[in-house]
Amino acid sequence: MVGGSAPEKLGLTCYLTRFTWHSVTFSLSFICNFNTMSLTNVSLKTKDLSLYVENDKGLLFNHTSCCLYNLPAISVFTVLLIDEGLSKDKVLITLKEKSDLHIKELFSLYWTILDMLALQGIKLSYADGQYPELYTLNTKSKSTLLQKTNNTYQVAGATFSIFAHTELLQDITALLAPRIQQLKSVDFEILITQEAELYCIYSNRILIEQCTKYLEVIPLIIDRLQILAFQKSDYTFCFHGAALSTPSGNLLLPGESGAGKSTLSAFLVDKDHRLYSDEIIALNDNFEIKVIPLPIAIKSGSWQIVAEKYPLLAQAKIWHRLDGRQLKYLWPTSFAEASLHTGNKTVLIHPQYSDKKRVDAKVTKLSVIDTISLLTASGYQLGFELNIEKLEKFIAFIQQSTNFRIDYNNSEQVTKVLGSIC
Amino acid sequence: MVKIIVAEMMSNQIQGNDDNASPSAVENTEQTRRGFLNTFGKLAMVTPVAMTVLMSPSTSAAPKSCRGNGRWKCT
């Protein structure tokens, strides 16, 4: 897929009204009748660099530092000039001819690009972000702690025991009841202690979190289970977002906190949609999605509207994040059983909730570079050292999926749009 | 402006090329690169300087639901 040059009808920004998606696309293709450049691989003289361009942007991959960059046109131009073998002075003179930027800014740009192109490895590794307890997987069966508790849980391929004082343990058991499994050994032993005003959370004897309020403990535990569940798996790419299976394929909803992923997921999980996870899009080498069966975290702003669909939410306990936000947990009606990516369509929607009232959702088609930028900006982790083969497979996956940004004011607007495109 | 330049680029039908190729293919690659140089030289006038690291070992971290995730790691 990478390197193809067939022009596509991109750049559509449209407001869905009462028309079907296909008719809107068709009619707007007359309004926005210009061709844009599809992602194209530019062959460079420097062999340890790969450059892809699309419209007025570029993606640069440095094979040695394993870093991927998003470049605006002037940076793509600078990379091409340096790749031609021009001297620093020649590059700066040419840039000055083409740009209104001050010479100081051009100097700064030149040195930034040179840093980016540096063909020397950096000491950091993508493996550095793995949580430390993954390197101390509990191998003993019936450890002292495990003998004291019946609270053992399975989340995806990871197993846990949780030990805490009575009240906290009751809350954890109540919330995680659907994940309880009787296990003789576990991967992670989680211990929560209370010392004076401080709650300390240990995982395989490593102190991993501390908080001062009882109400902050559970969100920390759920987040830890979520992350350990995917980090222990054979994931390659992981993005912050929700993932659901739909009758025609998979729906990915990447986004930062507050974009509306969890609320949308709660709305979409019905007879047609099944949840992989409301927080983690973890993909393996074949771009199959991992199921991480944990409760959905609904933030306070959405309680009222979500409770209309899930009445039990009204009575659910309120928990606090360390950043002060309040949330309640709810279990979705169903989880996906396994990824059904092969041969199925993937739709990627970047949801953007806003208080601003609007009649209908605003739907914007995303380019490949913009999609990758949004995915990584929301938070991401790689389970391997990035290389050109994996990157090209990932780019091909994004090229094959249908990518949109949706600006919306209420979940109904999004479900209406999804009804047309999924 | 960007649309006009990109449309111009498309009309030139410039495509990426293979590395291990005949002399004519090598020439083609050279032409392609020069085509992109011209295009992005024109685009350089109208686009901002901002660039971003999309993936690197220092920004890869477990995604967490907290304010400031993504570029700014949550503690």
Render pLDDT for A118-143 as a digit per residue (tens, 0 to 9).
Answer: 876 667 899 888 999 999 876 655 56
Q: Which pLDDT does position A380 carry in this prediction? A: 95
**B20 close to A (CB below 8 A):** no
Q: Judge whether B61 lies within some domain.
A: no
Q: Which of A30-44, A113-127, A330-344, B38-52 has the lowest mean pLDDT?
A: A30-44
Q: What ipTM does the predicted assembly reach?
A: 0.84
Asked, for residue B34, whether it belongs to a domain, the answer is yes
Q: Which residue has the tokens 């395989």?
A: A204
Is pLDDT above 50 for A323?
A: yes
B contacts of A59 (beta carbons < 8 Å):
54
Q: How confident is the model at residue B4 (pLDDT cuts 50, 70, 90)?
A: low
Q: Which domain holds residue B20?
A: 2-43
Residue A12 has pLDDT above 50, yes or no: no
Report the C-alpha gap between A331 and A295 in whole angstroms: 5
- pTM for the model stands at 0.85
Contacts of A376 in chain B (CB under 8 A): 54-55, 59, 70
pLDDT above 70 (res A29): no
Residue scoring higher pLDDT (B73 or A415): A415
Among the ranges given (A44-48, A238-242, B22-26), the one the predictor scored with the smallest mean pLDDT = B22-26
Residue A54 has pLDDT above 60, yes or no: yes
**Dihedral Cα A126, A131, A132, A134, nearest 10 deg:** -100
Q: What's the mean pLDDT in A30-35?
A: 35
Give a yes or no: residue B9 inside a domain.
yes
Q: Which of B34, B49, B58 is the mutation pick for testing A, counting most A CBs within 10 A?
A: B49
Q: Which of B4, B54, B66, B67 to substitute to test the interface with A, most A CBs within 10 Å?
A: B54
Ramachandran region of residue A252, left (φ > 0), alpha (ψ -120 to 50) or beta?
Answer: beta
The answer to whether B36 contacts A80, with C-beta atoms less than 8 Å apart, is yes
Chain B: nearest CA to A302, how far in angstroms? 16
In a mutagenesis test of the B interface, which of A56, A278, A299, A372 is the best target, namely the one with the most B β-carbons within 10 Å? A56
Confidence at A111, pLDDT banded by 50, 70, 90: very high
Q: By mean pLDDT, which of A9-23, A64-78, A93-107, A233-247 is the weakest? A: A9-23
In this complex, do B41 and A94 lie within 8 Å of one another by their Cβ atoms? Answer: yes
pLDDT of residue A339: 57
Across the range A280-284, mean pLDDT stands at 95
Cβ–Cβ gap B62/A231 under 8 Å: yes
Q: Write out chain A residues lying below 8 Å of B70, CB-based.
A: 240, 256, 376-380
Total number of residues shown for chain B: 75
Name the CA dihedral angle for A294, A337, A153, A185, rounded to a multiple of 10 degrees. Answer: -150
pLDDT for position B24: 77
**Contacts (Cβ under 8 Å, ≥6 apart) of B20:** none
Give the percent of chain B with pLDDT over 70.
57
Option in A44, A56, A381 nearest B61 (CB): A381
Residue of A nearest to B69 (CA): A379
Query: How large is the average pLDDT for residues A319-325?
Result: 92
The answer to whether residue B6 is domain-embedded is yes
What does the pLDDT read at residue A279? 94
Residue A319 confidence (pLDDT): 97
Residue (of A11, A16, A9, A10) closest to A406 by Cα position: A16
Interchain CB distance below 8 Å, A73 and B47: yes
A322 dihedral zone (left: phi>0; alpha: psi -120 to 50; beta): alpha
Q: What is the structure's pLDDT at A21?
A: 34
Provide the number of structural domains found in chain B. Answer: 1
A176-196 average pLDDT score: 91
With CB atoms and an 8 Å threshold, state whether B62 touches A381. yes
Chain A contact for B63 (CB, 8 A cutoff): yes
Residue B48 lies in a domain: no
Chain A CB within 8 Å of residue B19 CB: yes
Instruction: Tell me, yes or no, if B1 comes closer than 8 A to chain A by beta carbon.
Output: no
Give the nearest chain B residue to A50 (CA atoms).
B16
Average pLDDT (A77-99) is: 94
Report if residue B60 sits inside a domain. no
Chain B contact for A234, CB < 8 A? no
CB A168, CB A319: distance < 8 Å: no
Partner A contacted by B72 (CB < 8 A): no
Residue B52's DSSP bridge partners are: A70
Is B13 a domain residue? yes
How far is Cα A273 from Cα A280, in angstroms, rounded to an integer? 17
Within a domain: B62? no
Q: In the predicted model, is pLDDT for residue A88 greater than 70? A: yes
Of B9, B32, B60, the CB nearest to A380: B60
Of B16, B56, B60, the CB nearest to A43: B16
Please check whether residue A41 touches B, CB under 8 A: yes
